[in-house]
A and B are shown apart, each in its own frame.
Chain A
Amino acid sequence: MALPISLINELKSTVGDQWVIIEEKAVERYLYDETAYGVRPQPVRDIVVVKPGSTEEVSEVLKLANKYKAKVYIRGGGTGLVGGAIPTKPGIVLSLERMDKVHVDSENMVAEAEAGATLGKLIEEAEKHNLMFPAHPGDEGAFIGGLIACNAGGSRAVKTGVMRNYVLGLEVVLPTGEVLKLGAKTIKNNFGYNLAHLFVGSEGVLGVVTKAYLRLYPKWSYTATIVVPFDSRVKAFKTAKKLLFSGLIPLALEYFDRRVIEASAKHLGLQWPIMEGDYFLMVILAEALEDVLFLELEYVDKAAREEGSLEPFATQRTDEQKTLLKIRSEIFTALKKDTFDILDTTVPLGSVDKFIEAVMDIERKHGVWLPVYGHVGDGNIHIHVLNYQGYTREQLIGVSEEIYEAALKLGGVITGEHGIGYIRRKYVRRLLGDVWVETMRKLKGILDPNKVLNPDKVIPEE
């Protein structure tokens, strides 16, 4: 154990003996996240897992880390895809799992959520009060702290925006242990520069999010999921564009093809229910008024047919909508075992079709399958680079980089929601520039002078 025994003892007296874990087997499940096997870093096993039960304890743990100059890796639900939670140096894994309370202030439509509460719990608690958390930024096992720290996105961003849009207030423990309370339960708040948003999307390098005020909304009373099949990809994208430019804002506008969606359905032991077409748009509508929903249904049907779609299907049943969404959401899991890396390249709205054509060119050039699907409603496209036979690691990275280049050429970015974490740090200097790197370093230097928090993540090595 690289950490001094005196630190372990002090950690134990801070959070209690049972919340400091050093046994190898117990530590194992804190070493990985959901990063694809091909690109995830090798974790360092020489770590101690610490599970604080309060903000005060988080603060004490960070003070101890500074005292001993020990590295700290913050861990939420472990659902990240860029190695952000994987410990790469000996140190402390700070797991927030015990801090999982959610209190819903229904009068003010605000949730007070601790960092260790899952997205699933937030959704469930809001529902008890007939409210909802409108965004759906990914896996429901993700922790609120992680969702905020990574500014998670998800399929509903086209209508709801991303995690950042819901953060009214934050409690952050700075890397040196001081507790910073930011914001309020108000929707508007112009009292001082909004420092809370400095931490949203900081991927845990600037502080530890421990609590948040999140904005809730009244539930949508009427929802429908439409599946529009097409016999050509071009028609699918033309329809998507037409919908987006019509002013109709769906809850989600997703694209996938038959091969991808059937792989996911098969993985789940289900059947993709639409027999017609090889390319699909999935349009989710959510409205407060039934008549509005029906007007939108009518419009989507008409617009799709005008662009040459096949017969569109729709359901308003909760169970069927859930099944469709589940099949769409599990594409990643279904392909994971064959996946080298999953990309979340994002391009400007008007360039989605051009981008996918460029990806198809790369596919043809290499003679491989590049599963493509994603949130056409916000330009965020997921592409799996698989473990192709005969390809070396470098060649596979080469394929990913060709896709990055295609996105960049169209004015896009290499990550729309997964973030930089560990695996994309190598692209930071080239893509974000020296001034960005230096500014981040200065910020980091001010907040984390001993460089204890999340080393090897986001900011390139000096």
Chain B
Amino acid sequence: MNILVLIKPTPDITKVRFDVEKGVVDRGSASLEINPFDLYAIEVAKRIKRVFGGFITSLSMAPPHAEPALRDAIARGVDRAILLSDRRFAGADTWATSYTLASAIRKLGSFNIILCGEKSVDGDTAHVGPEVAEFLGIPHVSFVTRIIDVSVDKVIVESDFGEAYYEVELKLPALIALSRPVIFRDEFIEPSMPKVSDVLRAKKAKIDVWSADQLADVADVSKFGLNGSPTRVVRAYYALEKGRETRVVKGEEGVNMILSVLRETGVIS
């Protein structure tokens, strides 16, 4: 089985700085790691490979310093990692990103299934998986919590649509965007720790870096990056956080204060 995994190298969200003026995550402010949701995609890919045999290729679009994250993917079981990295890809919105990834998939040729995390922890849009599938014209389903069964020509999954769980059958090739945690058949899946021997092997592994020019035969390069992005971040701001206020009052005064606060906030009339 030819398995593709889409991996987004994301910064540690607890450490990254946010450039409020430009409205973007300053990706240089923290090292990049595999998006946590995508770790589940790798695990599912490994399970499928275990059943059917095959080859796992990962595809990412990121700056060059994302390489360690891709080496981590190799240590965790990916057979070949491809990094789409070019200044011309920079500033892409989810449409341009999906277009670029889909172009690279076309260039790679045939595949049976594409797996990805349902969203990334930095962008949080959940757009890219479904958009890639739309560009490729293949069926897709997101928010998948369980792979009920998979065979050479179809996959049956359970998806959390918010108001209900849906059982969906898709003809392969298809794209599955995974939630976490996820069940593969009857097994609860958690990302497994890599073996040290695999970490050391991955350190020496070759990462294929593809530029915009290498996709020119399968794509319209003017649709890459910021130029190809139909959406713009107009303004970005931090959510307002109002901290707790402490006031120390005693006895009668305290009772009256609580009553007046409850009245002011409309809890009592």
Contact = CB atoms under 8 A, between A and B. Distances in A.
Interface of A: 18, 127, 224, 226-227, 271, 273-274, 290, 294, 297-298, 300-301, 311-320
B196 A314 contact: yes
Nearest to B193: A313
8 contacts: A271-B190, A313-B193, A315-B194, A316-B199, A317-B34, A318-B12, A319-B33, A320-B191
Which DSSP category, helix, strand, loop or mixed, fits chain B's interface? mixed
A316 B194 CA distance: 10
Given A273-B193, A314-B193, A318-B33, A297 B200 contact: yes
Contact of B72 (A127, A300, A311, A317): A317
A305 to B, nearest CB: 9
Contacts of B195: 311-314
Contacts of A226: 196
A314 B33 contact: no
Contacts of B171: none
Interface of B: 12, 14-15, 33-34, 36, 68, 72, 190-197, 199-200, 203, 248
Contacts of B12: 318-319
A314 B248 contact: no
Give the residue among B14, B15, B194, B196 with the most A Cβ atoms within 10 A: B196
A316 B190 CA distance: 17
Nearest to A316: B72
A300 B193 contact: no
Given A224-B199, A290-B68, A320-B191, 20 more contacts: A271-B190, A273-B192, A294-B203, A301-B196, A301-B197, A311-B195, A311-B196, A311-B197, A312-B196, A313-B193, A313-B196, A314-B195, A314-B196, A314-B199, A315-B193, A315-B194, A316-B199, A317-B72, A318-B14, A319-B33
Which 7 A-B pairs rank lowest in CB-CB distance, beginning with the nearest? A313-B193, A301-B196, A312-B196, A314-B196, A18-B248, A318-B12, A315-B193
A18 B247 CA distance: 11
B193 A274 contact: yes
Nearest to B31: A221
A90 to B, nearest CB: 25
Given A314-B196, A317-B33, A317-B72, A273 B190 contact: yes
A141 to B, nearest CB: 18
